[in-house]
Amino acid sequence: GEGASGGHGRAAPRGRGAEEGVLPWRPGDGDSRRFKFLSVFAWQARKGWDILLRAYLREFTAADGVLLVLKTRPFGLSEKEQRRQLARVVAEETACRRAGTVPPVRLLTARLSVPEMARLYSACDAFVLPSRGEGFGRPYLEAMASGLPTIGTGWGGNLDFMTHENSYLIEVEGFEPAAGDPVARLYEGEYWARPSLEDLRRLMRRVVERPGEAAERGRKAREDSAGWSVAATCGRLARELDRFICRVTAS
């Protein structure tokens, strides 16, 4: 994982200075009274960071007392280009908004140790990632193991452990050709999901306004994630291997 030193500020209105509006952050940067959404991902189109940012900026204002923390790293491009892409979306979404009305966004890009990542999860109030496709989705499981109410796409490998009882699943509007990544050639001819931006807005608002329900969902997430520990997973693999060997030797 990655992370960075702290700072304060707000996303710039009217598309000016958006690069300076998305500032670095660390746990304890004076945002204790804000409801903090965390997203952890490599910076690529597949992760749906553009959908997340647009949903957050459209749904909330500064008066809502929320904060979006993006824990990320460049993927196949420079950090400068990553920040440029982020600033462009912020500028597009805030072009007609007055100064002081835009909800804050914070960016972490430096490497964090495992204990530091654990502290990051525990410092936030909910996890959200509208991924267009996952083989497994480790950040989802990490967030759930931390007891965070977790918002994720209702399609993909993450559904092996995410349900409507232990998480919040974003509706999928359809599927589209996988494109837009520096490594798009790896997905050539494949399709990925199109998570609903409007449903994501609804779910993000819901976890803010229904803290009791969100806490219960987080408790269930922590409980269910225990079955996906390294020891438990290795045990399942060992049992499957034993069954396979028995079938082969018996044939």
Task: Classify burial at 188, counting beta carbons within 10 Å of its beta carbon; exposed 0-12, middle 13-18, buried 19 or more.
Answer: exposed
What is the number of structural domains in the chain?
A: 1
Residue 230: what pLDDT? 63
Short-list 198, 166, 191, CA closest to 177? 191
Short-list 31, 2, 37, CA closest to 214? 37
Q: pLDDT (tens digit, 9 = 90+) per residue, 141-170?
A: 999 999 999 999 999 999 999 999 999 999
Q: pLDDT (tens digit, 9 = 90+) per residue, 121-144?
A: 999 999 999 999 999 999 999 999
Residue 98: what pLDDT? 87
Percent of the chain with pLDDT over 70: 85
Q: pLDDT (tens digit, 9 = 90+) per residue, 74-106?
A: 787 788 888 899 999 999 999 988 888 999 999
CATH number of domain containing 223? 3.40.50.2000
Domain membership of residue 237 as a residue range: 2-250
The mean pLDDT value of the chain amounts to 86
